[in-house]
Every structure is written in structure tokens, then in C-alpha cells.
Amino acid sequence: MSPDATATEGSLPSKKVLGLFALAMINVAAVLSIRNFPSMAIYGWSCIGWYILGAILFLIPISLAGAELATGWPEGGGVYAWVKQAFGEKGGFTALFCEWSNNLVWFPTVLSFIASTLAFALTPGLAVNPWYMFSVMMIAFWGTTAIAYFGEEASTRFSNVGVILGSIIPAVLIILLGLWWLGSGSSLVLPPLTLDAMIPTINFSTLPFFATIVLLFAGMEMAGFHALETRNPQKDFPRAMALSALIIVICTVLATLAIAIVIPADQLSLASGVMQAIQYFFAAAGIAWLVAPMAVLITIGGVVNLGSWLIGPAKGLGIVAEEGNMPPLFDRTNKYGAPVAVLLIQALIGSAISLLYVFLPSVNQAYWILSAMTVELLCIVYILVFAALIRLRYSQPDTPRPFVIPGGMAGVWIVGGLGLFGTTLAFVVGLMPPSFFASNGLAYILSVLLGTFLLAVPPLVFLKFKKASWKKSAGPERCE
């Protein structure tokens, strides 16, 4: 890191000074992902209204909440430290564990995106073959786990190009192709754009897709960890959040609409819709031979993105294990500092969950169940974070906060209240089965609830059977 810069009034000394644009890019890198666009493209012009609703009820509140909490309690642990300060060990442990365990069901959805995208470089029909899907998913999953074995530095080097290859370049390319499609006079599958068309139709069949908004914008609080690295958090951070939100929303909306104007909703695959759109675009432009190289590029970007998330959440459990709240196994690292035991555990569990792609009759069904479980777990995390934001204003009002949500207690209640309402609503509607589960809705709800429960309850079990011998006085246990 660069030497400390001179602190200005209202700021704290930091090891590095980030400009407004650099701070905004942290959130763009964490949130912008083309993987989720097809699930919103189904709704055509009304996806604009859905995205605006998601920004008001989640995107903006989590950005502001993350900024205040990260600057007030910047010690390691992230949501664990914040929620623990407000609600004690059980609350903090639950938040952190849900943040880690949601990855167990998130991994297979990303892996399915990787496998279905690669199919377009081979034979597109493979994307609906469960045995092909599972095989490629396992190769990608265990391959990136092997890279994670060599520690965070190796994983970081491997993932440095992930944002460019897997998110920004494909999103910009899809937008440019969509603009070309419009300019070429090609036929659109959407009706003419009107104000009424942008207003989402809210009913029992569309409400479940509101939960997708939470999954899409999850991670906006990440830049809060860097708020102390700005010259003036009170001014720079809100501007950076506004800029990052603007970039994310514009890229997301335009790329989603670019897919929606080309692919009919009833033909759109949730897992491979991005490549469907690219295939349509390239064929119309007379450059169909570029589909396979682009598929390989996006596949590599997806694998790199997956690798960047494998080791971070796993290392987070080490903080809890060091405090004696988990068996020493979870604190075991190798000479590279990689949490080898946790990496192996999450790889085994993730592989077992991926078997859903073999046994469920539709890849879309498995994709939706796993995405719903991911949202439920994330909602638990964010409900605790928003509640902690409000509680800490009462329980620790004198704790220095370089960034403070404006408006006093009213401002905190508005931000925290909107966030709590949005995430609670997402949790409830996330249990509502989509149309293709209408005939077996109860099984869907029970599957999502059971999976969420099994992945959220372990902290209470660990704390119930906590032993004094679990707490270590020395550093983490090493294994070769």
C-alpha cells in the first residue's frame, strides 16, 4: 500500500487514499454480474420498474448502512463484528455463518452458468443435459478449490481479470449489440416502450421475482470496508455510492433489455440466456463464428469469479473459530494460509447440492430452488445488519463514525426501515413458487425452507455444545 496521506478535517488517517471513482469501482466489481440478467429479462420493459423498486428498498439502504457500520466498527469480521456489537455472539455468528453457507447454494448456480455458457462453445444442446452440466460443474468447482489451496494471494492473482472478463466486457458488449440491433431495424420481441409498460405488475405470479433483486444487488456494502481510506468519508462515500449505483443500474437495465428485445420470454433459459442473446446477435451480424470464442471468454470469466469467492468466506469462519465458537477443525490452515478443512467441507457440500441438476427434471427448476435458498440466507444476513444499524445508534451512540447516515435518528430509521422492509419482503416472497412449480408448490416451499434451516442453524448448535478446549491461545493450527 502507498504511504499514508495527510488527513483532512473530518477524516481518519489511512494506509491508502482512494478517490471517488476507485471507491465506486469496488462496488461495481462486487455487484455487477451478467449471470442474473436473464431472470429479469423475462419481464421486458417492466424490469426497469423492478430495478428501481430494488434500488429504493435495498440498493441504497445497504450502501448507506454498510458505510456507517464499516467506519464505526472497522475491525475484522465484517457482518460478524457489526451484528455481534448489537446482538451478541449468537447474532454475529448467525450472520457470518449465513453469509458463508449461502455460498454453498450459490456455488452451484454459478457453476451451472459456467457449464451452460461453455456448451455454446461446444454444442448448445448440452446446456439441457444434466450429466454434462454436473460433469463440467465438478471440474470447475474442484479445479478452483485446488487453486484456493495455495492461499489468498494465488486466488487473488487468478481472479484479478475476473471483473473485466466476466462482467464489464460482456455487459458492455451486450449493450452495444442491443443498440446495434435497434439501429439495424431488426424486429423486436417487445411491444413499443411506454410509461405503463415500465410499471411492474405486482401479483402472486410476479412477486417471487422481487427476491431476485436482493440477490442481484447483494454485495453493495462491500465498499463500506474501504470508507476509512477516503479523505473525507462524509462527502466522498455517499458520492461514490451514488456513482456505483448509477453505473450498476444503467448497465444492468440496458443489458437486461438488450436480452429481452431479442429472446422471447418463453424461450429464455435462466442459466444460458446471456449466450442465447449473443448467439442471436452474432448470427444476425454475420459473425456467428465469434460465438464460440465469446463463450469460452465468458466461461473463463465465470470460473475466475468463482475462484475469487471460494477462499474469502471460508477464511471468515477462522475468526469465529479462533474465539472458540467452533471446533478447531474450522481453524486449520496450510502453509499458504488457506483454510484447507473448510475448503474441503464446502466443496463436498457444494458438490452434493449440485446433484440437484441430475435428479430434477429441469435445469431451470434446480437453478430457481438454489437461487431462492441463496436469497433466503442473504436476507437473514441483511435483516440482522439493518437491525444492528438501528440498535447501535441507541446502544453505542458515542462510538466514532467517520461516515454517519444523515438525518439523525429519523434518517437511520428511514434507511434501516426501508432495508428491513425490503429484505423481509424478499424473504417472504422468496418462498412463493414460480409458475413452473405451480403444480407442486408445497414441495417447493418445504424444499427452500428445509435447505435454509439446515444452512442457518449450525451456529446455535456450535454454541450449545461449545467447549473450553476449542479456544486457542496460539495461532491457527497448521497442516501441510
The pLDDT assigned to 159 comes to 62
The pLDDT assigned to 13 comes to 41
Does residue 136 lie in a domain region? yes
C-alpha cell at position 75: 475491525
CA distance 240 to 104: 31
In 86-178, at which residue ranges do the beta strands (DSSP E only) sit?
Answer: none
Does residue 474 lie in a domain region? no
H or E element that contains 409 = helix 408-429
The pLDDT assigned to 5 comes to 38
Whether 67 and 227 have beta carbons less than 8 Å apart is answered as yes
Whether 66 and 439 have beta carbons less than 8 Å apart is answered as no
Total domain count for the chain?
1
C-alpha cell at position 126: 448440452
List the chain pLDDT tens, one digit each, 480 residues: 333 333 333 444 444 566 777 777 767 766 777 777 877 888 888 888 888 888 889 988 998 898 888 888 876 557 888 899 999 989 999 998 998 888 887 888 788 888 888 888 888 788 778 889 889 999 999 998 888 888 766 665 666 567 777 777 888 888 888 888 888 877 788 888 888 888 888 777 677 677 777 767 887 776 655 656 667 766 777 778 778 888 888 888 888 888 888 877 777 766 566 777 777 778 877 888 888 888 888 888 778 777 767 776 777 777 788 788 888 888 787 887 778 888 888 899 888 888 876 666 565 566 677 777 888 998 999 999 999 999 999 999 999 888 889 899 999 999 999 999 999 988 988 888 766 676 677 888 888 888 888 889 999 899 888 888 887 654 445 555
Does residue 478 lie in a domain region? no
Does residue 210 lie in a domain region? yes
What are residue 154's phi and psi, to 5 degrees?
-65, -45
In angstroms, how far is the first alpha carbon of the chain from the final one? 30
For residue 51, which of 261, 241, 254 has the smallest C-alpha distance?
254
Does residue 324 come out as left (phi exceeding 0), alpha (psi in the -120 to 50 range) or beta? left
| Residue 165 DSSP code | I
Does residue 302 lie in a domain region? yes
The pLDDT assigned to 7 comes to 38
H or E element that contains 444 = helix 441-456
CA distance 139 to 118: 12
CA distance 366 to 357: 6
Range of the domain at 259: 22-466
For residue 384, which of 52, 59, 80, 29 has the smallest C-alpha distance?
80
C-alpha cell at position 367: 437453478
CA distance 281 to 120: 14
Residue keyed to cell 441504497? 60
Does residue 405 lie in a domain region? yes
CA distance 358 to 362: 9
C-alpha cell at position 369: 430452488
Whether 170 and 274 have beta carbons less than 8 Å apart is answered as yes
What CATH code is carried by the domain that includes residue 240?
A: 1.20.1740.10
Strand partners, 478: 333
Q: How far is CA 228 from CA 67, 416, 441, in A?
A: 9, 22, 47
- What are the helix and strand counts (H, E) for the chain? 21, 0
Q: Is the pTM of this model over 0.85?
A: no
Total residue length of the chain: 480
The 3-state secondary structure of 236-256 reads: HHHHHHHHHHHHHHHHHHHHH
Does residue 471 lie in a domain region? no
Does residue 8 lie in a domain region? no
